[in-house]
Amino acid sequence: MAFTAQTNYSTGVGSGPMSLSMTDVNSDTKPDIIVALYNQYKVGVLFNFGNGTFHAQTNYSTGSGSYPQCVSAVDVNGDSKPDIIVANNGGNNVGVLFNAGNGAFLSQTTYTTGSPSYPPSASAADVNNDNKSDIVVANQYLGNVGVLFNFGNGTFRSQTTYSTGNNSGPTSVVLVDVNADGQRDIIIANYDGDSVGVLLNFGNGTFRPVTSYSTGNNSNTRSVSVVDVNNDNKPDIIVANQNLDNIGVLFNFGNGTFGPQTTYSTGNNSGPASVAVIDINGDNKPDIIVANYDANNIGVLYNAGDGTFLPQTTCSTGTSSHPQSVSVTDINNDNKPDIIVANYGANNIGVLLAN
């Protein structure tokens, strides 16, 4: 699979885009861009024209000094419209911005994550089987994850916390059933703990103590994705080890425990910061796409078919672009997955269309 040269969309001078999410927020069946603007204390929304180009950005405040670091879009109030959930690193809170119905958003409501938690990541999904999307947040400086249950109208209970280990520093969280019991479990990348952690769901939204798997000394594991990559119907763990310049793959034994990681180089001094896992070459095998912050490129590692991966091929994101976050989705309706990247250093969103 080849990609076009990157097309850039400005996020504003000094904005510092840190995270992006691709979701149709205005009900036109076209995936839009939602981006966390770390240095401007805002989230931005760029509507998709439908041909893979985007409108100018509309911004919404996340509060002075909030430093929003992670953004996602999930319907949390049951109106079938995706709302914005943001982890505000500097604000020690998670914010919720309700979708007004046409892709415009209401002012943010915040929920404390404790001080000093400095949350860098949050994810939303139903974890207690009441059909309401709950929020799970990584509290890096407190060494825990917080679970905020949804009352059903998009308001949330105070968080219940679970330790991720001493000096673990969780930075990325995803919610996936890894032990085939129908319950979403918590998987976290522990930046300071050089590990990935798994908290299995008891079934009522409470979680077992964390089980940690090493990602290597001084790995500084930054990002995690959970996808079946070896076609055994068991979701595996894929991590970006920023300080070791590699991607780690941990195969699922099937009961929610995992084997030791196998690593794949992302290049000397690459500093991988974000990882996505999706089939991009149409062979029904999930490939790895990685944002290499220090190397100023996007890397693609194709799946050889058995859960092993070919050496990385790269696409430039521009000099000093420092790509911080990557997402993969078809944005121009040609049934080919495109790459969208938040370039922190260049203050833009880059779009690489599949051709």
> Span 137-164, mean pLDDT?
98
pLDDT at 190 over 90: yes
pLDDT in tens, 30-71: 999 999 999 999 999 999 999 989 999 999 999 999 999 999
In the chain, the percentage of residues whose pLDDT exceeds 90 is 96
Give CA separation, 61 vs 1, 41, 170, in Å.
38, 6, 25
Can you list the positions of beta strands (E) in 89-235? 93-97, 109-112, 121-125, 134-139, 144-148, 160-163, 170-176, 185-190, 195-199, 211-214, 221-227
pLDDT at 102 over 90: no
**C-alpha to C-alpha distance for 197 and 195, rounded to whole angstroms:** 6
Q: What is the pTM of this model?
A: 0.98
Q: What is the pLDDT of residue 345?
A: 99
pLDDT at 296 over 90: yes
Q: What is the pLDDT of residue 346?
A: 99
Nearest to residue 32, comparing CAs of 329, 278, 298? 329
CB 173 within 8 A of CB 186: yes
Radius of gyration of the chain (CA): 19
pLDDT in tens, 84-100: 999 999 999 999 999 99
Under the banding of pLDDT at 50, 70 and 90, the label for residue 324 is: very high
Exposed / middle / buried, residue 79 (Cβ in 10 Å: 0-12, 13-18, 19+): middle
CB 8 within 8 A of CB 349: yes
User: Which CATH class for the 7-352 domain?
Assistant: mainly beta
**C-alpha to C-alpha distance for 185 and 350, rounded to whole angstroms:** 32
> Span 160-189, mean pLDDT?
98
pLDDT at 1 over 80: no
Residue ranges per structural domain of the chain: 7-352
Strand 109-112 versus strand 58-61 pairing type = unpaired
